[in-house]
Amino acid sequence: MTQYRTDQEAFWAGEFGTEYIGRNQGDKMLASNINLFTKALRVASDIQSCIEFGANIGMNLKALKILYPELDQHAVEINAEAARELATVIPAQNVIHDSILNFNPQRTWDLVFIKGVLIHINPDELDAVYDKLFAAAGKYILVTEYYNPTPVTVVYRGHGDLLFKRDFAGEFMERHPQVKLLDYGFAYRRDPHFPQDDATWFLMERRD
């Protein structure tokens, strides 16, 4: 059995992470993701490659592929079942089945993005994840998470210490001042056409 440094990693690698797959797929989600990425990347240019940290089965990557048909896509995913399904969405050799905390980028991508994953990272490990996002970014970083101006912990489906809200993008930019904010926005869960789970997105550009 794989040993993880944090309880959060073990949780998402296990049965709960596998059950998450069934709740987060379908044409409506794909349409909502296309709408979100269209808005979030409207000021970006010349995106030829991307990597997603915590891709699950690739619903975000599917949306991006529709918007950027020639996009070279890579992903990191901790859950084995999700990684297997992900390998049917992007080339299997581009799927990194591992914890984000173990991943060490050996190259850069035009777009590095993370969506609904930082909220589930142990807060003690966030700086390390911010550093990995920065190291992987050749040009753009897109962070899409629950936002709160100060750190708070929220009970998640009856579990404690598994969902954390804070200003992830703000912390990232403070840690890496070479990054500049380009755009930001909010996607509401009650949107009548393209709902997201109250997601706040921040598009940043690396300028060092």
What confidence tens digit (pLDDT) does each residue in 46-90 have?
Answer: 999 999 999 999 999 999 999 999 999 999 999 999 999 999 999
DSSP3 helix / strand / coil % (the chain, rounded to 5): 35, 25, 35
CB 185 within 8 A of CB 201: yes
Query: What pLDDT does 14 receive?
Result: 76
CB 51 within 8 A of CB 74: yes
What tokens were used for 135?
């190291």
Q: Quote the pTM value.
A: 0.95
Query: What pLDDT does 1 receive?
Result: 41
- Rounded Cα distance, 188 and 21, in Å: 22
- Weakest-pLDDT range from 51-65, 102-116, 120-134, 154-168: 154-168
What tokens were used for 54?
């915590």
Tell me if the domain spanning 7-206 has CATH number 3.40.50.150. yes
pLDDT above 50 for 179: yes
